[in-house]
Amino acid sequence: MTTSVLSSLKVIARPKIEPKPPVIGKRMKLIEKLEQQQELATCMIEKRPFEAYREKMVKDPVTGERKKQRRQVTVRPWYYDSDGHYYLEIKVNNKSIELQKDKHAIDVGDKAKLPELIDTIIKATEKGELDTFLLAPPTAKKAPTKPDASKKA
């Protein structure tokens, strides 16, 4: 008597897979952007050019085939200097977050400390210390007020 190959496998009921909380994806996205800022700061310190790329699906007009294409993207620094003294802002949804009441910037000091500071922020993000900022709903922009046409002087 021969045994079948399938009978030699251990078969179980399908395990229930719990969905990941949305904060995990947001953390990963922030960490990815922070690593990009860290590379940008390192390139600035070493005085070499920084290039960032993103893959994009592009449809070939001739064949109609969709292909992945590497495109260069512009990355704006989250840090800035004032008379040789550097400051860093952490941005979520392209807006700097308020780490303390009315305080958005982190005092870095010398530009050589930027990569080390960004590494510290990455570790804090991994531990979940910035989750309150990641889960906060995006603030709505105020619509510009137009002058009332009926009030002409």
115 touches 89 (CB < 8 A)? no
Q: Would the pTM count as exceeding 0.75?
A: no
- Output the pLDDT for position 153: 47
Number of folded domains that form the chain:
1
For residue 126, what are the domain limits? 22-48+75-135
Q: Give a yes or no: residue 101 inside a domain.
A: yes
Q: Which residues of 105-141 are buried (b: 16+ CB within 10 A; e: fewer)?
A: bbebeeeebbbebbeebbeebeeeebeebbeeeeeee
In sequence order, the 6+-apart residues with CB closer than 8 A to the CB of 58 are: 66, 67, 68, 69
- Output the pLDDT for position 145: 65
Pairing of strands 52-59, 66-73: antiparallel
Residue 58: beta bridge partners? 67
Q: Give a yes or no: residue 14 inside a domain.
A: no
- Output the pLDDT for position 2: 59
Residue 85: beta bridge partners? 82
Tens place of pLDDT per residue across the chain (153 aa): 556 888 888 888 998 888 888 889 899 999 999 999 999 999 999 999 999 998 989 888 888 889 898 999 999 999 998 888 899 999 988 888 888 888 888 999 898 999 999 999 999 999 989 888 888 776 655 656 666 555 554
Q: Give a yes or no: residue 96 inside a domain.
A: yes
Q: Give a yes or no: residue 119 inside a domain.
A: yes
Q: Give a yes or no: residue 53 inside a domain.
A: no
- Output the pLDDT for position 23: 87
- Output the pLDDT for position 3: 67
Q: Give a yes or no: residue 109 inside a domain.
A: yes
Q: Give a yes or no: residue 60 inside a domain.
A: no
Q: Give a yes or no: residue 89 inside a domain.
A: yes
